[in-house]
Chain A
Amino acid sequence: GAVVSQHPSRVICKSGTSVKIECRSLDFQATTMFWYRQFPKKSLMLMATSNEGSKATYEQGVEKDKFLINHASLTLSTLTVTSAHPEDSSFYICSSHGRGLTDTQYFGPGTRLTVL
């Protein structure tokens, strides 16, 4: 399968600050990456699809200006949570397709965000 990394693995920040999460595909070039959010004991919810060299596609109900996504290279996508508030505290996970397996998604280790 594909190898996907995320950084940081855990972040605690004050309300009102912005937090950037990086997602890297380590062993292949990913034109598309996905960002999910998972609240405790809930399932994964797709936030947006990140497309290399173009604008991300956001799911209904996800604020584009709140969750900024940049996919500037074939191996890196970033999610910036702007002006974070306690309700943004969640587990953020990115994923990517494996090489040649366009349906199968492999997940990064996730980033635990806690906003105080």
Chain B
Amino acid sequence: QKEVEQNSGPLSVPEGAIASLNCTYSDRGSQSFFWYRQYSGKSPELIMFIYSNGDKEDGRFTAQLNKASQYVSLLTRDSQPSDSATYLCAVKAQKLVFGQGTRLTINP
């Protein structure tokens, strides 16, 4: 079992719709959870971090964490073509571990 699992996609969402990305993790001792966006050929850029169960909103993004289910998600409202990228979930217990990423395409 991979430590951090994401659906590799690709996930296609129409412009203006909500994009929902999911991530599960295996280490119950994980305390910090991150979502990064990575455009092709570029390095990851931080979108959000979340530490506590529940929802955290920042602009068009909402991160959701459920530690009991070992599940973290990222919702993007009013998706734009510029949101098309690979989204990396990262989870930290002793060290930061990345999922393989979900490729998201927003269709105009």
Contacts and interface: CB of A to CB of B under 8 A. Distances in A.
Contacts of B43: 91, 93, 107-110
B98 A44 contact: yes
Q: Is the interface of B mostly helix, strand, loop or mixed?
A: strand
Contact of B88 (A43, A46, A103, A109): A43
B94 to A, nearest CB: 11
Interface residues of B, number: 21
A43 B42 contact: no
B42 A110 contact: yes
**What's the interface size class on A, roughly?**
10 to 19
A51 B92 CA distance: 19
A18 to B, nearest CB: 23
A72 to B, nearest CB: 23
A108 B92 CA distance: 19
A46 B45 contact: no
Interface of A: 1, 34, 42-46, 49, 91, 93, 103-110, 112
